[in-house]
Structure 1
Amino acid sequence: MNDATRDLREMVRAIPDYPKTGIIFRDVTTLFGNAEGLARTVDAIADHVAGHGIDLIAGIDARGFILGGALAVRMRKGFVPIRKRGKLPADVYREEYSLEYGTDEVEIHKDAVPAGGATVLLVDDLIATGGTAIAAARLIQRAGGTVPMAAFAIDLPELGGARKLAGIGIDSYAVMSFEGH
């Protein structure tokens, strides 16, 4: 780990035993609330994906909107929201995914990807088990896009989400990682 990454890691608040005992919640709101931290995180992702022919940025509700919106502006690309069920007003595709205790659903507008397709960078604050990211990637594909890459501020490698994305052909990049969960 280089000094720049170490500095960014120190901007992420660790909240022990949240949402349950034994979990260390990695809170990116402190990173995003620091102008330099947010800018460096966005720049690291933009630099990593430069030259990969990205047409659109898709961010996952809700912290993925912050990072994805900033990336879209930085890269001069359009932004597509992947929302929780019931939040989008037009016709949608819906995808269910598993949570630790049950399931949830995400949606995308059916016309979110231009006719003829687009190469979409999927963005969220954190990759853990990968369930939400895989569901979001499936939505983008159903809407006509391709998802060759996903980018995150944080990876929790022990939970295997990045490996699961690789298993369905999506490369992932994280600015930093934290052991444990």
Structure 2
Amino acid sequence: MELPFVLARKPGKLPNETYKKKFDLEYGSTSIEIQKITDINENQKIVIVDDLVATGGTAIACAELLTENFNVKNKNILILSVIDLSSLGGSKLIKEKGFLIKTFINYE
């Protein structure tokens, strides 16, 4: 497919300089990082792959790293999740922030 691939990881796991975003989880808070040197530009459509959306914190933090540091528009970011725990409100919050979301399995 020859598509660019950018990792978002826990602090200290990526080489080179990174952008960092703090966010809350249902059980505390943490942060996530992406490298400053990437092929991302403001006109690209981006897919964020997350295994599970609960409160939406991780997915939103990743998306906001892209909007805040690379000027990617919210409408150009799709969050693709295997599982959505919709009763925890994460997918609803993702939509309210203007990001797209698609999931394979929904548990209420």
Aligned counterpart, 1:87: 13
Matches within 5 A, 1:18-167: 75-115=1-41, 117-144=43-70, 145-146=72-73, 147-167=76-96
TM-score, length basis structure 2: 0.86
Q: Are the aligned partners of 1:80 and 1:112 in contact in 2 as well (CA < 8 Å)?
A: yes
- Structure 1 residue runs of 4+, over 4 Å off? none
Greater RCO structure (CA 8 Å; 6+ sep): 2
Deviation at 1:120, TM superposition (A): 0.8
Q: 1:150 to 1:175 in 2, by over 3 A?
A: same
Q: Are the aligned partners of 2:26 and 2:55 in contact in 1 as well (CA < 8 Å)?
A: no
User: Partners of 1:175 and 1:99 in 2: how far apart?
Assistant: 22
Structure 2: segments with no counterpart, 5+ residues: none
User: Partners of 1:124 and 1:115 in 2: how far apart?
Assistant: 21
**% identical aligned pairs:** 37
1:170 to 95, 99, 103: 99
Deviation at 1:114, TM superposition (A): 3.5
The C-alpha deviation readout for 1:64-93, integer Å capped at 9, x for no partner, is: xxxxxxxxxxx5422110010111111111
Structure 1: segments with no counterpart, 5+ residues: 1-74
Which structure has the highest helix share of the two?
1
Q: Are the aligned partners of 1:151 and 1:172 in contact in 2 as well (CA < 8 Å)?
A: yes
User: Partners of 1:166 and 1:116 in 2: how far apart?
Assistant: 20
Q: Are the aligned partners of 1:111 and 1:143 in contact in 2 as well (CA < 8 Å)?
A: no
What is the identity, as a one-letter code, of the residue corresponding to 1:93? Y
TM-score, length basis structure 1: 0.53
What is the identity, as a one-letter code, of the residue corresponding to 1:88? L
User: Partners of 1:101 and 1:127 in 2: how far apart?
Assistant: 14
Count of residues in Structure 1 that have an aligned counterpart in Structure 2: 105
Q: Are the aligned partners of 1:113 and 1:143 in contact in 2 as well (CA < 8 Å)?
A: no
User: Partners of 1:103 and 1:120 in 2: how far apart?
Assistant: 25
